[in-house]
Amino acid sequence: MGVRDSAEWQALAEHHREVGERHLRDLFAEDPGRGTDLTVAAGDLYLDYSKNRLTRETVRLLAALAESVGLRERTEAMFRGEHVNTTEDRAVLHVALRDPATSGLEVDGHDVRQEVHEVLGRMAEFADRVRGGEWTGHTGERIRAVVNIGIGGSDLGPAMAYLALRDSSDRSLTFRFVSNIDPTDLAEATRDLDPATTLFVVASKTFTTQETLTNAREARRWLVEGLGGDGKAVAEHFVAVSTNAEKVAEFGIDTANMFGFWDWVGGRYSFTSAIGLSLMVAIGPEQYRELLDGFHTMDEHFRTAPYEENLPALLGLISLWYVDFFGAQSQAVLPYSQYLARFPAYLQQLCMESNGKSVRSDGSTVDVATGEIVWGEPGTNGQHAFYQLLHQGTVLVPADFLGFAQPNDLARDRDLDGMHDLFLANFLAQPRALAFGRTAEEVAAEGAAPDVVPHRVMPGNRPSNAIVAPKLTPSVLGQLVAAYEHRVFTQGVVWGINSFDQWGVELGKVMANQLAPKLQSESAPEYDADSSTDALVRLLREGRGRPA
């Protein structure tokens, strides 16, 4: 049975008819306490969800929906290591990656906690050697630049977090992240680097991904050529992060320099696996542990807190309220932190690859809308670009505003605290303007010409969450990411879909492999795709001076 027929869903549908069109102005006027009551604290995060188009009753009904679909049982099953990823018959245990306990979780005949800590120990040893200058390259020089080669989940986590945690990172080392198979990406990343002092971390769960292996092969060529053609240099300048030792060895990386993880870690949930290696080199093992502890704090909060006080569950349920009852199709994530510039991109994979599904776990078609388009840019840049649509457009875009009380260290060291106050004033102003707007009477009272009044009316009633933390530290970043992971899980369970597979990305990969030879061949290829693709192949071949 689909979720739509359940009594809890129907109760929400009826409730929506009562409160869906109520204005936030009225909701605040009737219940002035909501600004402090419709909030929840978890770890260092404070969520103010009062500026959403809901009442206390909505929260009660959403929590009841979560209970009725067995969110608690599903969560326990995931934490226990049951194969909740049914279509791939795998456990889903990213939460074990940050569990401080060092033993006692048996899954498929292995103590996963023990294995996790063994790899973390090896990563720490490696990170210390690179940071301390003991890991030397082929010419005996210390490493000065670390280039992570990976894509999707093998790139976005460390790339996002490296930027987010610049304050905490060793600024004497250079870090680059190469993901795109566009040759420009690798060429730009290595343009000003010295092969003698560059270390590559090739990160790929499967070690079969076309983009990553192609980039890694070209990086190897750049390195070996740059070091006088000695192939032995590869062992000193390449390490791998993967679940596939065979393919790593086949590529020519010594498996002694491989950091493993397991099939129970999904790509987009792999940030806290060995995929975080380059980040650990950047911030050091101690602060990396703080990051993991931040994740763990949120994991435990999600597992134990009642849903009406459960930060990740509330984020998931409130977003679902808009997707399924208001027809919202997108969710903006607006971090008021330049260091979180890549956070929306990270969340795009986390949310859209997880919940962009139209079939339920049992194979039946979903009977409600699922997933949402996640997008965003750091404030205040977005304000001067797309916020116009958020304020006065015809589509409903719920937004998450993220803000931090304290500025980052670099800004503080430069005595730029005052600027941070202006930044925070914007962080406060935008959600307020979105929620409460400005009426025609107010606009007219300010002396606007009558014909301009309608243009200047701000309708308001545009919902948002505010998530506030004291400062963007490794622990806070961990708490934030874990909160969004569990937000995605909460929605997936209600929708009845498997948030841990990604079959939808396969067909394009197969087709790319079929089309590559048609572009590469010296003579005109066979045109047997479809009339549009065939014409484009012809055009591109002509553009490259190849016989079409």
Ligand X SMILES: O=P(O)(O)OC[C@H]1O[C@H](O)[C@H](O)[C@@H](O)[C@@H]1O
Residues near ligand X, by CB under 6 A? 151-154, 204-206, 209, 212, 267-268, 353, 502, 505
Output the smallest distance, CB 426 to ligand X, in A.
Answer: 34
Q: Angle at which helices 210-226 and 183-190 pack, to 10 degrees?
A: 40
Distance CA 300, CA 100 (A): 12
Residue 402, SS3 per DSSP: strand
Output the smallest distance, CB 294 to ligand X, in A.
Answer: 22
Q: Which residues are catalytic?
A: 353, 384, 509
How far is C-alpha 9 from the geometric centre of its chain's CA atoms?
Answer: 29
Q: CB-based contacts of 538: which residues, under 8 Å, 6+ apart?
A: 527, 548
Give me the phi and psi of 332, to 5 degrees please. -90, 140
Closer of 353 and 377 to ligand X (Cβ): 353
Output the smallest distance, CB 268 to ligand X, in A.
Answer: 5
Distance CA 6, CA 65 (A): 9
Tokens of 106: 């048996």
127, 279 contact by CB (below 8 A): no
Distance CA 333, CA 331 (A): 7
Tokens of 358: 């139209």
DSSP state, 458? B
104: left (phi over 0), alpha (psi -120 to 50) or beta: left
Closest residue by Cα to residue 326 from 390, 369, 389 = 369
Closest residue by Cα to residue 42 from 244, 315, 361, 354 = 315
CB-neighbour burial class of residue 129 (10 A; exposed 0-12, middle 13-18, buried 19+): middle
Closer of 94 and 205 to ligand X (Cβ): 205
Only one residue has tokens 């099953």, namely 77
Closer of 177 and 427 to ligand X (Cβ): 177
Per this entry, what is the length of the chain? 548
